[in-house]
Chain A
């Protein structure tokens, strides 16, 4: 049973560029959440997608956007990259039946902005 898959594993971008990160949820999961983790800190919630819609959003600017596809996979897009966007981006999946069942995390994408 495949867990949460994220791609790419590492990425280096130049300030001002745009980036797209991808996530495939665990089999049977229909909800995807994205988190940003700076070095030495806990993950910060970016947003969550369920039924192809953004359901919840954390305190992140509009430069951060996302999408969920009919097969439940998801993309995170970041425009106009800043040096401060350098972080580990984590995708978490779960299933929603009226109750949360905890989250399964992927291994993350390490984004470096230079």
Chain B
């Protein structure tokens, strides 16, 4: 059974700092990995999708990496801003059948 863990559960940083969020998964036979952002009480906004054959994806100040062999992914956020405050979730898709397994998220607070 796939298990996804995100560490830390919460993180507070001053504005402008670069930071890394971690995601680990137990079964490396994944199809892809997706990072999402969730604001309180809201739905999920997709940030980055990494296919299993890829090593990283970039979008603006965000960079996500994937190491299937070690069962790890990281989300790097450069020059953090208060507007980045949210919960960040990673999800692994196993075999493309639509069943994604999520971690419990990292809640990020960026202080002005």
Contact = CB atoms under 8 A, between A and B. Distances in A.
Interface of A: 4, 6, 31, 33, 35, 40-45, 48, 50, 55-56, 58, 88, 90, 92, 94, 96, 98-108, 110
Given A42-B4, A55-B97, A103 B46 contact: yes
A31 B98 contact: yes
Contacts of A99: 96
Contacts of A103: 34, 46, 91, 100
B46 A104 contact: yes
A45 B42 CA distance: 17
Nearest to B42: A107
Given A90-B43, A100-B32, A105-B36, A55 B98 contact: yes
Interface string B42-83: 111110010000000000000000000000000000000000
Given A41-B104, A42-B89, A108-B42, A56 B97 contact: yes
A40 B104 contact: yes
Nearest to A32: B98
A94 B32 CA distance: 14
Nearest to B1: A59
B4 A108 contact: no
A41 B6 CA distance: 11
Contacts of A41: 104
A56 B99 contact: yes
Interface in B11-45: 31-32, 34, 36, 41-45
A109 to B, nearest CB: 10
Given A55-B98, A102-B46, A42 B103 contact: yes
Given A45-B101, A88-B41, A105-B45, 4 more contacts: A33-B98, A102-B34, A107-B42, A108-B43
